[in-house]
Amino acid sequence: MRRAEVLDSWGVLRRKLLLIANQILAEYPINMQQLVLMRELKKYKILTLLALAKLSYTDPASTSRSVDALKKLGLISKKIDREDARKCRIELTEKGEALMSELAVKYKSFADSSFKTLSDQEMSLFLELLNKVGLRLDEILKTPPQEAPKNALFSISKT
């Protein structure tokens, strides 16, 4: 059936993307998972550990280990929430912001190069289809689609 072929092709594409991303990241002190977390922090500014884990589709224990490694590198700060000591506020440091700015240039170049054979119309259709499949995967995972938070400090608690 063609659906299995699509899934196989997606798997190959995903591995190729990861291989290229790892080549790009080889000169930096972070790995792909840590980059994903930093991208979420760049987008939302301040997050709790649980929110960061949910946004990155990673379990909290793995997220915590990555956060600790990023903190040791001086790329993020982790502060106890004043209102709830069980929570911590995680955000990029100036050093983390600078690294993200540098990587944003490489990310854009990589994206432009990767999709330059697609027209604007094809890109729109591709994105629409990816979003459609993403929504279906959320249904399978029984998780709500990730939405932008109302404010920077939040926990995603819909289940």
> Under CATH, what is the fold of the domain 30-141?
Arc Repressor Mutant, subunit A (1.10.10)
For the segment 127-131, the average pLDDT, to the nearest whole number, is 93
With left for phi above 0 and alpha for psi between -120 and 50, is residue 158 left, alpha or beta? beta
pLDDT (tens digit per residue) in 63-95: 999 999 999 999 999 998 788 777 889 999 999
**DSSP 8-state secondary structure symbol assigned to residue 90:** E
| Whole-number CA gyration radius for the chain | 17
pLDDT exceeds cutoff 90 at 44: yes
Q: Is the full-model pTM beyond 0.85? A: no
Q: Give 79's strand partners.
A: 89
Could you tell me the residue ranges of all domains in the chain? Answer: 30-141
